[in-house]
């Protein structure tokens, strides 16, 4: 609106000037004597209604400018603000694009609410599911500089890759900022973050009871892997045999090749044998019968991934399975067979190395199960620290396991069987042996630190130097929970 006013005012002013100049020029060409040498008009002639009119117009124009400038000024501030919002919107949109392009949700979960990353543990070679934290509440735990740091450099020895150029990642500085803008735009409120932390604690408490079972099932999976390698050579031959049979029926041989040397080329033989297609699904009737037998036999072979391979094609029904056209179904079954063949080929070609690795992984898991460092004696913790109150001890251990262990217990994220003793330290310092009592002279000092987290270059406690790695928990944990976990960590028994 205000820019319209300015444009109109400028047009009026230009018109007025043009009028004056044109008038002056017209008058001059008629003068015989130079104006400064001739007598000009008298006062009476000059001070007429015309002068009043000219002055009047001038006053109106001045008044107009006097009003329109402040109006423009006021509008300008809004205009600037709306530009900023526009830039911000564009940045957020771009950030959203980066988050999609670099598949953050693949690990951090759809909507970045937290998820899991598949990871092969470096020490044991065992495949594990590593929890990836929620990002839509991360600004309650870290400030923008700290989040940028994790984004740019990733987190070494974890599935979190580096994304910034400085960490040899794919994003430039602007893309990192846009990603941060997007993350900021999707933050949930504090109440949601508190509820989520509570759910993590509850899950961790449940995890205390299922730790044994979870290790047992890891061991079982590892044993199955070893069996898979042991049986890979015979299975490869078996799968190859059925794959070739199905392939021979489904895929036309090359023209001109006569593999069996009978004087008729293979394509001609293939066409002759599979010609009739009464249900017109693209599969000849005889082919349907043969494929039914081949898929059934493959399933009967007992190779586990073929357990759902059998299908009964009916040469009078183009959609025997009720799902797809028979031809499509047959090709997808053949596809499954070929995929298995590739897997087995890789296994057989690298058999010694892969089987050796799997065996080492199994030994690692069994040793971990024997030591069972992942188990907690809640009664002992309760007796030592909580005056015998097992509920308090359980909650405290749940808080530690759910929110702290991933950085303060080495191996925690690789699964219970990998865990070192609670508080052994990894990204964060060791917290066992009463260390927190040495670092923080009082529980209050410690609470302040846990609430605010660490800051780059800022000292904490007696001799701590912050790097900004330790998240702030003041916004996501209640006073009572903070007190519990502090009491637990300042106690003598951690497990
Ligand atoms: C391959 C899986 C994977 C991908 C992809 C991934 N992350 Fe991560 N990220 C993780 C894991 C796992 C952690 C936690 C590591 C740990 O336990 O210390 C993490 C941690 C983080 C952290 C630190 C959070 C905290 O509380 O410790 C941030 C920030 C982060 N990721 C952002 C991102 C962004 C943004 C993207 C996409 C550009 C992304 N991540 C892609 C797996 C991944
Ligand atoms: C994302 C990783 C991470 C998480 C999660 C985490 N911490 Fe930390 N913590 C650190 C790091 C790293 C430090 C060292 C300070 C730094 O490097 O900025 C630290 C320092 C500490 C210290 C001071 C130790 C010392 O001796 O200097 C205490 C105590 C502590 N954390 C307790 C906790 C508790 C309790 C929780 C859970 C409620 C927790 N931390 C969760 C990474 C983490």
80 — pLDDT class (breaks 50, 70, 90): confident
Domain-located, residue 204: no
pLDDT digits 0-9 by tens, 122-141:
888 899 999 999 999 999 99
In a domain, 42, yes or no: no
- Whether residue 460 is predicted with pLDDT greater than 90 in this model: the reply is yes
**Are 385 and 484 in the same domain?**
yes
Write down the pLDDT at residue 2.
Answer: 58
Residues 172 and 66 in one domain: no
Q: Give mean pLDDT, residues 281-305.
A: 93
Q: State how many domains the chain has.
A: 4
Q: Are residues 266 and 305 in the same domain?
A: yes
Same domain, 241 and 182: no
Q: Considering only residues 81 and 171, tell me which one the structure prediction assigns the higher pLDDT.
A: 171
| Distance separating alpha carbons of residues 291 and 39, to the nearest angstrom | 120
Q: In this structure, are residues 345 and 453 in contact, taking their beta carbons and an 8 Å threshold?
A: no
CA of 154 to the centre of ligand 1 (A): 7
Q: Which domain holds residue 174?
A: 102-136+138-187
What is the rounded CA–CA span in Å between residue 310 and residue 298?
8
Q: pLDDT band at 32, cuts 50/70/90?
A: low
- Distances 367 to 20, 124, 233, 237, 422 between C-alpha atoms, Å: 101, 11, 29, 35, 17
How many CB atoms lie under 10 A from the CB of residue 355? Answer: 17
Model confidence over 356-391: pLDDT tens digits?
999 999 999 999 999 999 999 999 999 999 999 999
How far is ligand 2, taken at its centre, from the CA of residue 221, in Å?
A: 33
479 within 8 A of 444, measured Cβ to Cβ: no
Of 317, 351, 385, the residue that ends a domain is 351
Both tokens assigned to 160: 């979190």
Query: What is the average per-residue pLDDT within 293-303?
Result: 95
Q: What is the pLDDT of residues 108-118, one digit of tens each?
A: 999 999 999 99
CA atoms within 13 A on the CB side of 311: 25
Asked if residue 363 is part of any domain, the answer here is no
**pLDDT confidence tier of residue 254, bands split at 50, 70 and 90:** confident
Q: What is the mean pLDDT of residues 100-114?
A: 97
Is 314 found in the same domain as 238?
yes
Give the C-alpha separation, 144 to 155, whole Å: 16
- Structure-model confidence comparison of residues 16 and 172, the more confident one: 172
Residue 38 lies in a domain: no
Atom of ligand 2 lying closest to residue 438 CA: 26
pLDDT for residue 46: 77
> Which residues have a Cβ under 8 Å from the Cβ of 436 and sit 6 or more positions away?
446, 486, 489, 490
Does residue 235 share a domain with residue 177?
no
The answer to whether the pTM exceeds 0.75 is yes
**Are 333 and 382 contained in the same domain?**
no
> Do 144 and 180 fall into the same domain?
yes
Residues in CB range of 443: below 8 A, 6 or more apart: 483, 486, 487, 490
What's the mean pLDDT when you consider all of the chain? 92
- The CATH number of the domain where 439 resides is what? 1.10.760.10
Say yes or no: CB of residue 148 within 6 Å of ligand 1: no
With bands split at pLDDT 50, 70 and 90, how would you rate the model's confidence at 231?
A: very high
CA–centroid distance, 428 to ligand 2, in Å, is 5
pLDDT at 71: 87
Residues 388 and 467 in one domain: yes
CA–CA separation, 412 vs 425, rounded Å?
10
Is 148 domain-assigned? yes
In this structure, are 240 and 323 located in the same domain?
A: yes
Residue 29 binned pLDDT confidence (cut-offs 50, 70, 90): low
Q: Which atom of ligand 1 is nearest to the CA of 171?
A: 38
Within a domain: 250? yes
Residue 495 has pLDDT above 70, yes or no: yes
Q: 397: CA distance to ligand 1 center in Å?
A: 25
Is 201 part of any domain?
no
| pLDDT attached to residue 27 | 58
Answer yes or no: do 176 and 76 share one domain.
no
CA 71, distance to chain mean position in Å, is: 47
Domain presence at residue 19: yes
Spell out which residues line ligand 2, taking CB within 6 angstroms.
Answer: 403-404, 406-408, 427-429, 431, 435-436, 439, 446, 450, 454, 461, 464, 466-471, 473, 485, 489
Indicate if 121 and 70 belong to the same structural domain: no
């Amino acid at each position: 609106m205000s820019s319209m006013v300015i444009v109109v005012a400028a047009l009026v002013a230009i018109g007025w000037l043009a009028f004056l100049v044109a008038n002056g020029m017209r008058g001059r060409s008629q003068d015989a004597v130079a104006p400064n040498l001739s007598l000009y008009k008298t006062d009476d002639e000059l001070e007429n209604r015309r002068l009043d009119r000219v002055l009047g117009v001038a006053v109106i124009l001045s008044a107009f400018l006097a009003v329109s400038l402040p109006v423009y000024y006021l509008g300008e501030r809004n205009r600037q603000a709306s530009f900023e919002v526009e830039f911000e919107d564009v940045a957020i949109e771009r950030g959203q694009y980066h988050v999609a392009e670099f598949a953050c949700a693949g690990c951090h979960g759809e909507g970045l609410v937290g998820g899991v990353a598949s990871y092969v543990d470096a020490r044991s070679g065992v495949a594990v599911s590593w929890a990836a934290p929620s990002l839509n509440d991360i600004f309650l735990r870290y400030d923008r500089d700290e989040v940028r740091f994790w984004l740019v450099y990733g987190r070494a020895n974890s599935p979190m890759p580096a994304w910034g150029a400085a960490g040899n990642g794919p994003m430039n500085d602007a893309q990192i900022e846009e990603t941060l803008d997007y993350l900021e735009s999707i933050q949930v409120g504090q109440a949601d973050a508190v509820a989520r932390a509570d759910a993590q604690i509850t899950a961790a408490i449940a995890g205390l009871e299922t730790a044994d079972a979870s290790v047992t099932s890891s061991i079982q999976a590892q044993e199955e892997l070893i069996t898979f390698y042991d049986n890979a050579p015979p299975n490869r031959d078996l799968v190859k045999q059925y794959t070739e049979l199905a392939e021979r029926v489904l895929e036309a041989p090359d023209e001109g090749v006569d593999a069996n040397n009978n004087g008729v080329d293979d394509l001609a033989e293939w066409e002759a044998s599979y010609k009739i297609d009464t249900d017109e699904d693209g599969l000849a009737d005889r082919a349907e019968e043969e494929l039914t037998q081949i898929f059934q036999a493959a399933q009967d072979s007992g190779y586990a991934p073929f357990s759902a391979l059998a299908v009964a094609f009916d040469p009078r029904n183009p959609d025997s399975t009720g799902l797809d056209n028979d031809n499509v179904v047959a090709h997808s079954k053949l596809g499954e067979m070929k995929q298995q063949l590739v897997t087995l080929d890789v296994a057989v070609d690298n058999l010694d190395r892969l089987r050796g690795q799997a065996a080492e992984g199994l030994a690692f898991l069994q040793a971990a199960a024997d030591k069972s460092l992942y188990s907690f004696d809640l009664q002992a913790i309760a007796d030592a620290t909580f005056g015998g109150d097992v509920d308090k001890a359980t909650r405290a251990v749940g808080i530690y396991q759910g929110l702290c262990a991933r950085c303060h217990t080495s191996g925690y994220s690789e699964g219970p069987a990998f865990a070192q003793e609670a508080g052994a330290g990894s990204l964060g310092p060791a917290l066992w042996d009463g260390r927190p009592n040495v670092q923080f002279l009082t529980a209050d000092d410690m609470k302040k630190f846990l609430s605010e987290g660490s800051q780059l270059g800022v000292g904490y406690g007696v001799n701590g130097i912050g790097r900004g790695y330790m998240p702030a928990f003041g916004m996501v944990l209640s006073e009572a929970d903070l007190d519990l976990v502090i009491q637990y960590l300042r106690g003598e028994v951690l497990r």
